[in-house]
Amino acid sequence: MGGAVQAPFLAAVGGIGGIAVSSWTLSVSARRGGGEPLVDVGEGLLTAYSIATLLLFCCALVAVVLGLKRPRAAGLALVAIGGLTIALVVVGILMWLLGGLLVAPFGLLILIAGVLLTTGRGAET
């Protein structure tokens, strides 16, 4: 696979996987009823965390589409989104270990794709 294809592919996989994990944590935060809670964190806090990660991963997919026209601009956007996602991973680990660890690989994929696009290795020059 060529370098021009790898970076957008990594970002797309990171975005789609991150959306799946964020949707799952959002559904976990909305669970009510009998039985033990899956997470021992306030419902509002976990919902806010899930929505923030979901929005970041949706922005990553928008940046992938932007990358078709402007690879370097998309690379900078992906680096910023990846950095914010890693910051949310730290918050997620402090709040709920599993939730933070599940988001981490997808944020790293987005960050790596952004660096590849920004340095020109993932974009045609």
25 lies in some domain: yes
Q: Where in the sequence is the domain holding 24, given as residue range(s)?
A: 3-30+42-119
| pTM for the full predicted model | 0.83
Which letter, b or e, does each residue of 20-42 get, where b requires 16 or more Cβ atoms within 10 Å of its Cβ? Answer: ebbeebbebbeeeeeeeeebebe
Half-sphere exposure of 73 (CA within 13 A, CB side): 8
- The model's confidence at residue 114, banded by pLDDT at 50, 70 and 90, is very high
**Longest Cα pair distance anywhere in the chain, in angstroms?**
58
82 lies in some domain: yes
64 lies in some domain: yes
| Tally of structural domains, the chain | 1
- The model's confidence at residue 43, banded by pLDDT at 50, 70 and 90, is confident
- Encode pLDDT of 90-110 as tens digits: 988 888 777 788 899 999 999
- The model's confidence at residue 122, banded by pLDDT at 50, 70 and 90, is very low
pLDDT, mean of residues 8-37: 80
93 lies in some domain: yes
Residue 124 scores a pLDDT above 80: no
Backbone φ, ψ for residue 8 (5° rounding)? -65, -35
- Encode pLDDT of 48-68 as tens digits: 888 999 999 999 999 999 988
Cα distance between residue 107 and residue 86, in whole Å? 6
Q: Is the torsion defined by CA of 43, 45, 47, 50 positive or negative?
A: negative
Which letter, b or e, does each residue of 89-125 get, where b requires 16 or more Cβ atoms within 10 Å of its Cβ? Answer: bebbeebbeebbebbbebbbbbbbbbbbbbeeebbee
89 lies in some domain: yes
37 lies in some domain: no
Cα distance between residue 5 and residue 13, in whole Å? 12
| Confidence at residue 68, expressed as pLDDT on a 0 to 100 scale | 87
